[in-house]
């Protein structure tokens, strides 16, 4: 079998959809066209420390390949580890744009046994959502490229390179049988001028599974480093770009959402009510809504989600917990919080009778258990905010690499009443981050009205024999896998409520609540 080695030059990008954007490029020894299928990256940030977790799904010939990632410092083995693949699916599902269904409740509710009327509760949703040939890692044969470190992590064999010039790095890769895409060297140059290093992770193909189409989902890689800059090099990814690329970035930070500092920021229109037929066209609807939103502000990056990582409403999946946040970097962001079991001593314990010693052992065991429970209840990951940023661009429209900055909290996309005219729309400043892309299909009450003072506009689950007063909406779907769906959907035909950001009016007066609704009781 001919040995083919592939390199990917990349940094932090979260791409949640197949055949979407990748911030690096593939180079092949065999001359084959190789394209990234999906790269997912999560960034946890605290002070000057960044923890970057990246998953690569590769589609191409099932031969040996490698990744090359520009990093700001020389990484050591203890800074690099592999993760479970499920963590990226969980993060994407938690923050993806979502669709729910609501039914208007009986305006003449029967009192419950405890004397209360409608219960108030959450609303549910549904988520969507290498044995590599003989390549020496030793002397590089050129003074302009140096091997700074070598180590193994999981199925990866890692080497850290530094380079003095782009041509030298290009020649080194060429000498090692990498076929460099035309135009790569000039894109190396700015990273080399910044003093960045290159993290090369070769993969043993015998340790991963390929399907018949040649697709391999590799173990995610995580590494951390300290740098004053918080930015995202994405220009290298344009080398292999055929068409428009989608870029999704998840940033996790304690008490803080993020936006880009060197491009316009917009928020996606949210709390839009849709006609029932939109349930079957939610992906194309959202893709078209996104495109029209981004087109209003050329080159903008769209905020789709900003919410506490350990809560959600509605919840398409359980929110992140301490263990998952630790996997994404909490262990190196806040290591002082690691639980250490205390040593409990009792004076004169050696003088106790055997039965007393047994009782003491039980007491000490219970005391340690209680201390551990108290530690766990403090929720070590409490206060982390997940920000989901989404850009879509071409070679011509992407300018600089993205730079991030902290941003004030926003809220929107909840079942909250703005005033008597209807639900809150869009994003507004708030005391905490409670913003999400949420869309609903609503079914007004059509049953009998058997009371003098009906209470209109209370929305919840579908009334039924066993859940007549259910207030939980029903799951309808999430906007996943939309990178290459049909994107010219006439959204005017699918909306029931206005979209002020796009200057679109509601189809009919009072649409989106009820023609008779005055208030929305669900908080």
pLDDT per position as a tens digit, 74-91 = 999 999 999 988 898 899
* 279-316 confidence digits (pLDDT tens): 888 888 998 999 999 999 988 999 999 999 999 888 88
State residue 207's pLDDT score: 80
Residue 169 lies in a domain: yes
- Give the C-alpha distances (Å, rounded to integers) separating 40 from 8, 70, 219, 276, 324: 14, 16, 11, 33, 16
d(CA 288, CA 274): 14
Domain boundary among 360, 377, 394: 377
Q: With respect to residue 90, please indicate whether it lies within any of the assigned structural domains.
A: no
Q: Would you state the pLDDT for residue 198?
A: 86
Would 489 be classed as within a structural domain? no
Q: What is the pLDDT of residue 477?
A: 62
**Cα distance between residue 404 and residue 261, in whole Å:** 5
Distance CA 465, CA 448 (A): 16
| 158 strand-pairing partners | 151, 201
In a domain, 500, yes or no: no
Residue ranges, the chain, pLDDT below 70: 1-39, 56-66, 110-143, 177-183, 210-217, 235-243, 335-339, 374-380, 395-396, 418-421, 464-486, 507-523
- Is 501 within 8 Å of 394 (Cβ atoms)? no
Domain-located, residue 91: no
Q: 362 with 233, same domain?
A: no
Give yes or no: residues 215 and 363 share one domain: no
Does 497 reside within a domain?
Answer: no
Do 228 and 344 share a domain, yes or no?
Answer: no
Any bridge partners for residue 440, and if so which? 100, 273
Bridge pairing between strands 434-436 and 410-412: parallel
Q: Virtual CA dihedral for 99, 101, 107, 113, nearest 10 degrees?
A: -100
Same domain membership, residue 169 and residue 69: yes
Written as six digits, the tokens of 344 are: 């409990």
Q: Is 71 domain-assigned?
A: yes
Which residue, of 223, 243, 263, is where some domain finishes?
Answer: 243
- The one-character DSSP state at 503 is T
- 96 found inside a domain: no
What Rg value do the Cα atoms of the chain yield, rounded?
27
Is residue 234 domain-shared with residue 366, that is, in the same domain? Answer: no
> Quick one: 155 and 29 in the same domain?
yes
How much of the chain is in helix, strand and coil states, percent to nearest 5? 20, 30, 50
pLDDT given for residue 14 in this prediction = 28
| Residue 403, strand partner residues | 231
Which pair of structure tokens corresponds to residue 72? 């700001």
Residues 221 and 339 in one domain: no
Residue 419 vs residues 274, 425, 515, 520: alpha-carbon distances, Å:
20, 11, 16, 9
Which residues have CB under 8 Å from 313's CB, separation 6+?
122, 123, 414
Q: What is the pLDDT of residue 79?
A: 96
Question: Token digits for 503?
Answer: 């200057």
359 three-class SS = helix
CA pair distance 391, 290, nearest whole angstrom: 9
- Distance of CA 17 to CAs 33, 265, 390, Å? 20, 22, 12
Closest C-alpha among 108, 192, 134, 98 to residue 5:
134
- 238 with 350, same domain: the answer is no
Question: The domain containing residue 147 runs over which residues?
Answer: 6-42+51-85+136-243
Do residue 360 and residue 229 come from a single domain? Answer: no
* Residues in a beta bridge with 478: 98
Tell me what pLDDT residue 307 has. 96
10 Å CB burial of residue 362 (0-12, 13-18, 19+) is exposed
Query: In Å, how far are 205, 291, 443 from 502, measured between CA atoms?
Result: 49, 11, 25
CB 202 within 8 A of CB 157: yes
Work out how many domains the chain is built from and give that number: 2
Residue where a domain terminates, one of 377, 411, 427: 377
Task: Based on the fold, state whether residues 208 and 68 are members of the same structural domain.
Answer: yes
């Amino acid at each position: 079998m001919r040995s083919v080695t592939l390199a990917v030059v990349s940094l932090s990008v979260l791409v949640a959809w197949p055949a979407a954007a990748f911030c690096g490029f593939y180079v092949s020894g065999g001359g084959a066209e190789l394209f990234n299928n999906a790269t997912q990256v999560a960034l946890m940030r605290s002070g000057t420390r960044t923890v970057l977790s990246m998953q690569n799904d590769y589609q191409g010939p099932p031969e040996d390949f490698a990744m090359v990632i520009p990093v700001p410092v020389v990484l050591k083995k203890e800074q690099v580890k592999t993760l479970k693949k499920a963590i990226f699916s969980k993060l994407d599902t938690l923050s993806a744009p979502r669709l729910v269904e609501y039914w208007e409740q009986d305006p003449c509710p029967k009192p419950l046994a405890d004397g209360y009327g409608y219960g108030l509760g959450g609303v549910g949703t549904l988520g969507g959502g290498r044995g590599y040939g003989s390549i020496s890692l030793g002397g590089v044969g050129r003074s302009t490229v140096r091997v700074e470190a070598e180590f193994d992590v999981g199925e990866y064999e890692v080497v850290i390179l530094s380079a003095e010039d782009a041509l030298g790095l290009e020649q080194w890769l060429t000498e090692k049988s990498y076929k460099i895409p035309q135009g790569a060297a000039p894109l190396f140059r700015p990273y080399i001028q910044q003093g960045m290093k290159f993290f090369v992770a070769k993969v043993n193909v015998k340790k991963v599974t390929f399907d018949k189409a040649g697709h391999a989902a590799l173990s995610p890689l995580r590494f951390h480093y300290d740098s004053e800059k918080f930015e995202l090099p994405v220009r290298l990814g344009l080398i292999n770009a055929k068409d428009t690329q989608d870029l999704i970035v998840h940033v996790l930070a304690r008490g803080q959402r993020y936006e880009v500092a060197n491009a316009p920021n917009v928020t996606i229109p949210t709390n839009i009510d849709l006609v029932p037929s939109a349930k079957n066209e939610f992906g194309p609807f959202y893709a078209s809504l996104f495109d029209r939103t981004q087109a209003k502000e050329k080159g903008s990056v769209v905020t789709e989600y900003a919410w506490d990582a350990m809560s959600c409403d509605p919840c398409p999946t359980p929110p992140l917990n301490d263990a998952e946040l630790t996997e994404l970097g909490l262990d190196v962001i806040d290591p002082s919080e690691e639980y250490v079991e205390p040593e409990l001593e009792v004076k004169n314990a050696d003088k106790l009778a055997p039965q007393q010693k047994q009782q003491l052992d039980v007491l000490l065991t219970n005391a340690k258990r209680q201390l551990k429970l108290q530690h766990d209840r403090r929720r070590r990951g409490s206060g982390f905010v997940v920000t989901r940023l989404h850009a879509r661009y071409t070679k011509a429209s992407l300018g600089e690499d993205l730079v991030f900055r902290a941003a004030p909290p926003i809220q929107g996309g909840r079942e909250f009443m703005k005033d008597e005219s209807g639900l809150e729309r869009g994003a507004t400043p708030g005391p905490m981050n409670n913003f999400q892309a949420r869309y609903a299909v609503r079914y007004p009450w059509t049953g009998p009205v058997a009371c003098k003072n009906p209470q209109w506009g209370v929305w919840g689950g579908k009334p039924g024999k066993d859940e007549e007063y259910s207030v939980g909406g029903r799951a309808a779907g999430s906007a996943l896998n939309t990178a290459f769906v049909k994107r010219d959907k006439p959204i005017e035909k699918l909306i029931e409520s206005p979209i002020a950001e796009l200057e679109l009016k509601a189809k009919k007066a009072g649409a989106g609540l009820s023609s008779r609704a005055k208030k929305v009781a669900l908080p």
